Structure 1
Amino acid sequence: MREAILSGDLRPGEKLHQDKLAEMLGISRTPLRTALTALAQSGLVSYESNRGFYVREFSFADVAGAFQVRAELEATACRLAASNMSEAAERNLFELVEEGDRLLSSDSLPPENLVPYRRMNVCFHTAIMNLAANPWIRTFVESLHNVPLASDRVIMWRDFYVIRRSHDDHHRIARALSLGQGERAAAIMREHITFALEHLHTQLEQFPGDFLRVPTVDPRPKRARARNQNRRNTA
């Protein structure tokens, strides 16, 4: 169910009918309810006594807040990881970066390369968090991945320039860590995630259907929405 929610098969606000879900998953209602309760505790599902379980809806402010916290946590991970680098850890990071280079070698990200590139991206960020040797960082970052669009699994694939820029950050982070430059790596990681949020803000207005789940609140300022509405009214 978690994957169905994160992939968008179950949409924000959608009621989770237990009989239908139990039949679809081939399980009884008891383990299903246990799973729904666990998802509610993780923040992906909400429950109301007069409504039952339903997919939680997030505003853009929720998404932005998750990005901001993730940026600081992963920057801290870089700072700590720099003092824990080994030859094996360095080799792993550069192998992941080289894999990204290979997947982007055609100056595009073909659809068949999207999943492998996403996997590489997740492995790169996870490797740094593991090197930080502070399990709380990974625990809290993984909880943020339950907020739609804030996860390192989201790749904004329409704009190859953005993908290439993001992967260049991977190069610079890996290089800084290999040199023991924790503060530099932390600064690049913070900018890496902050830029992703800024680009996401722009892309959500243009192509909301491209992403795993669409925030329930228009991310534009009220005045911008009003100007847009006035244009439609006078057209």
Structure 2
Amino acid sequence: MSATVSFAPPQKAKALERTLEKLRTKVIAGDLMPGEQIRQQEMAEELGISRVPLREALNVLADQGLLIHRPNSGYFVAKRAQSELAQISRMLELLENELIASIDWPDDEHIARMATLNASMRVVATTEDWTPMIRLNREFHHLMFGLSPLRLIFEEVMRLWPLADTFISSKMASQDARLRTVDEHDRIIESLRRRDHAHCLAVMETHRASTAAGLGPTVPPPA
């Protein structure tokens, strides 16, 4: 998470997080298209906020790579090519595998939090507005990856995930894919209960392959 969010006063941090999520949802849902400029006055009025917190949120999303800031021009939705997806996917695969191989096994409370998130995803998966599933999906995986003591790798994975959100949303546009994702999460939770690193890696590889299916070319692993 951006330091802008982490060190803000509690109320300001909550307001900023809500603004960030609304802007992310607009990008993911296609309300803001790649290359489109953010009209700050119009957006502030639409979200019911002033331009100061809006600019703060825009800066965070620019830092995360979802937006591009052009001095003297404004903020634009980033354009991501399929080749970039391939690179992001490959980096996440390598880094996530390091985290999974090193996780400390969760207690029952941690497992219950993951199960609750996944139950919420199952409900949202069949609704007309399924976009909250992107946030829930991100939180689910961060709970799992956060079990690793490798904090620098974890922080890098957190930095990369927002770059993948728009691609993941392409898969989740299908209700069948959303429900399949939830089923795969159930298997991830069960693998954590088994306390078997090799099994966790195998389950995650299957889940990752399912997400990548139909999203274009991938970077092949080295021979």
TM normalised by structure 2 equals 0.65
Structure 2 unaligned regions, length at least 5: 1-19, 218-223
- The answer to whether residue 109 in structure 2 is matched with residue 88 in structure 1 is yes
Select the structure with the greater relative contact order (CA < 8 A; seq sep ≥ 6).
1
Q: Distance in 2 between the 1:68 and 1:174 partners? A: 23
SS in 2 for 1:186: helix
Which residues in structure 2 correspond to 1:60-209 (within 5 Å)?
60-81=82-103, 83-94=104-115, 99=119, 103=123, 109-111=125-127, 114=130, 121-149=137-165, 156-158=172-174, 160=176, 162-201=177-216
SS in 1 for 2:191: helix
Once the two structures are TM-superposed, the CA of residue 182 in structure 1 deviates from its matched residue by: 0.9
User: Over alpha carbons, which structure has the higher Rg?
Assistant: 1
Cα displacement string for residues 103-157 of structure 1 (whole angstroms, at most 9, x for unaligned residues): 49xxxx5225846755653443122122224333442233223325457666625
* Partner of residue 27, structure 1: 50
Q: Distance in 1 between the 2:39 and 2:131 partners? A: 30
Once the two structures are TM-superposed, the CA of residue 13 in structure 1 deviates from its matched residue by: 0.8
Once the two structures are TM-superposed, the CA of residue 69 in structure 1 deviates from its matched residue by: 2.0
TM normalised by structure 1 equals 0.63
Structure 1 unaligned regions, length at least 5: 202-218, 220-235
Q: Which moved more, 1:34-43 or 1:57-66?
A: 34-43
**Which AA in structure 2 matches 1:44?**
L
The answer to whether the 8 A contact 1:46-1:55 is kept is: yes
SS in 1 for 2:163: coil
Q: Distance in 1 between the 2:73 and 2:80 partners? A: 18
Q: Distance in 2 between the 1:16 and 1:168 partners? A: 37
Identity %: 25
Once the two structures are TM-superposed, the CA of residue 196 in structure 1 deviates from its matched residue by: 0.9
Q: Distance in 2 between the 1:88 and 1:143 partners? A: 26
The answer to whether the 8 A contact 1:74-1:189 is kept is: no
Cα displacement string for residues 16-75 of structure 1 (whole angstroms, at most 9, x for unaligned residues): 3444445555424x6655544443332222234574432221111112322222233333
Residue 110 and residue 179 in structure 1: after superposition, are their counterparts in 2 closer, same or farther (change >3 A)?
Answer: closer
Q: Distance in 1 between the 2:58 and 2:132 partners? A: 30
